[in-house]
Amino acid sequence: MTNPSGPLRVGVGGPVGSGKTALLDALCKRLRDRFEIAVVTNDIYT
Confidence check: pLDDT of 46 > 70: no
- 5 within a domain of the structure (yes/no): no
Q: Give me the pLDDT at residue 42, please.
A: 81
pLDDT in tens, 1-44: 566 788 888 999 999 899 999 999 999 999 999 999 999 888 77
- 22 within a domain of the structure (yes/no): yes
- 24 within a domain of the structure (yes/no): yes
Rounded Cα–Cα distance for residues 33 and 15 (Å): 30
Give the chain's domain count: 1
- 1 within a domain of the structure (yes/no): no
Q: How many CA atoms lie within 13 A of 40 on its CB side?
A: 3
Q: What's the pTM?
A: 0.72
Rounded Cα–Cα distance for residues 3 and 11 (Å): 18
- 35 within a domain of the structure (yes/no): yes
Domain that residue 32 falls in: 17-41
- 29 within a domain of the structure (yes/no): yes
Q: CB count, 10 Å around CB of 19?
A: 12
